[in-house]
Chains A and B, each alone.
Chain A
Amino acid sequence: MNETSGMLELKTVDAGYGSFQALFGVSIGVNAGEAVAVIGPNGAGKTTLMRVISGLIRPSRGSIAMEGADVVSTPAHRIIGLGIAHVPENRRLFPRLTVEDNLKMGAFMPGARARCAERMAFVFDLFPRMKERRNQLAGTMSGGEQQMCAIGRALMSNPKLLLLDEPSAGLAPVQVLKVVDRAYLLEAGSIRAAGTAAELQGSDTIKQAYLGIEEMQR
């Protein structure tokens, strides 16, 4: 992989929770304008990887750069200002705030506040359902509607990089590979394979690791 001029670059990142290490020397890159998937079985460290990029946890080793800016030394609440928005696992909406207030929270940064109305119009355009439900409490909506709201909230800051944790929950990995440009296979906290979506679709490593299919006939 050639990752010399990526928008987001992680180099040999170790991270974990307390004494439990979840990521081991992970190096990945994302270029502007491309869709990249990180696939892997449950407990592989996908959520930890997202959390370490958005600053919810800090790496114990390695570097993270967003357009050349050092993410690791940036205070967590300023990372969104670098253009990184994170839709966390289980959406994590504010259940007793209205849809509109949830979206406003996504535009909390002073820079985004000024363009809040414009961004909200964009989100309502993308998800007309959210416009209908703008005064409803987020916790009372269906799962699909909450997912729209969570993605809308992340888009409010006009991010350059959108991190989606398990947007495809329930979909087969093959389906994910159909909509992305590139993918990484994360297994037990390490990158096991990387390549274009087409390359990985045919890969035996993917079939074995992700689907748990041992091809014993061979």
Chain B
Amino acid sequence: MTEIFDIYLLEAVINGILFGGVLALLALGLNLIFGVIDVTWICYAELVMVGMYGMYFLVSVYHVPYWAAAPMCILLVAGMGALLHILVIQPLLSAPPINQLLATGGVLFFLQSFATVAFGIDFRNLGIQLPVLTFAEMNFSYSRLLSFAAALVGMIAVYIFMKRTYTGIAIRAIAQDRQIMALMGVDTRRIYLITSALGGALAGLASCLLVLQYDVHPFVGLSFGPITFLICVLGGLGNFVGGFVAAFVFAEIISLGGLFSDLEWGYVLAFGFFIIMMFVRPGGLLARRS
């Protein structure tokens, strides 16, 4: 009896890690925008929703192979990120933060309503059914394994970009001292635009991966949006490493909570944990000493 239970436990732990990969990817995108531009894209998960629709139409309607549709979709959402910056954020850069929040909140409702009108409220999926890997009596879906691997590759690519390129170093520098960037010859507007496109590209990658596991509908963003925000806040807004750690903490709580009870209880536990942590460590798990 105990032996079987341990297998289930291990399976839940591993599934939690796999789930955490995509959450970490989403958190990285949101943290990037917050850390560099100092605005919060409330509509971040809705960009993912648009990307999922993009994948659905490309793959199911226009019969583009998945591997070709994915980069197109990443570019599409990257373009949307840049557009969001130019149309909504740039005019509000010096506005009070609440105005920026409300504006991106407006974009959230705009995108949800637009998707409802354009595509209806039907749940759609790619119709791609990836097999399940059975290993030592544990079951893992290939879609989750693929998602985890791709999310990891995406995050490593961002890490290398941030460490090795001049633009990447400037993105890290701008979060530390905005005013003197001009002295370095850095055009902050250009860096903001690149960062927005990069944040969009990460949402695009996430949408390619999530569409393998979830049905697309106009409100699918609600399944990932709130939890992505909680992860970012728990890790410390703008703190990349904190967001990464917090994503896996949340994923494990949801996965293990779901093992001992229903999946919904996993979410209740995760959100309860978040509320308690906000009292214990209001600055986030890895709060930066300032």
Contact = CB atoms under 8 A, between A and B. Distances in A.
B176 A96 contact: yes
Interface in B2-30: none
Contacts of B187: 75, 77
A178 interface: no
Interface in A57-102: 75-81, 85-86, 88, 92, 94-97, 101
A54 interface: yes
Contacts of B183: 54, 56, 80, 85-86, 88
A126 to B, nearest CB: 19
Nearest to A101: B169
Given A77-B186, A78-B185, A105 B170 contact: yes
A133 B184 CA distance: 21
B122 interface: no
Interface residues of B, number: 17
Contacts of A108: 166, 170, 184-186
A94 B185 contact: no
A86 B185 CA distance: 11
Contacts of B173: 94, 97, 101, 105
A46 interface: no
B172 interface: yes
Interface in A127-151: none
B180 A77 contact: no
B180 A81 contact: no
Interface SS majority for chain B: helix
B149 interface: no
Nearest to A100: B169
A86 B184 CA distance: 9
A113 interface: yes
B176 A94 contact: yes
B49 to A, nearest CB: 34
B182 interface: yes
B277 interface: no
B185 A104 contact: no
Given A101-B169, A113-B166, A94 B186 contact: no
Contacts of B179: 56, 92
Contacts of B172: 94, 96-97, 101
A55 interface: yes
B181 interface: yes
Contacts of B166: 104, 108, 113
Interface residues on A, range: 20 to 34
Interface string B153-178: 00000000000001001101100110
Nearest to A138: B176
A48 interface: no
Contacts of B184: 77, 80, 105-106, 108
A161 to B, nearest CB: 13
Contacts of B182: 54-56, 76-77, 79
Contacts of A113: 166
Contacts of A157: 185
A109 interface: yes
A104 to B, nearest CB: 6
A161 B183 CA distance: 13
Contacts of A104: 166, 169
Contacts of B180: 56, 88, 92
A85 B185 CA distance: 10
Contact of A81 (B170, B176, B177, B185): B185
B170 to A, nearest CB: 6
A80 B185 contact: yes
Nearest to A84: B183
B175 to A, nearest CB: 9
Given A54-B182, A105-B184, 19 more contacts: A75-B187, A77-B184, A77-B185, A77-B187, A86-B183, A92-B179, A94-B173, A94-B176, A94-B177, A97-B169, A97-B176, A101-B169, A101-B173, A104-B169, A105-B169, A108-B184, A108-B185, A109-B185, A157-B185
Interface of B: 166, 169-170, 172-173, 176-177, 179-188
27 contacts: A56-B180, A56-B182, A56-B183, A77-B181, A77-B184, A77-B186, A78-B185, A80-B185, A85-B183, A88-B183, A92-B179, A92-B180, A94-B172, A94-B173, A95-B176, A97-B169, A101-B169, A101-B173, A104-B166, A104-B169, A105-B170, A105-B184, A106-B184, A108-B166, A108-B170, A108-B185, A113-B166
Those 5 A-B pairs whose CB atoms lie nearest each other, nearest first: A76-B182, A109-B185, A80-B185, A77-B187, A94-B173
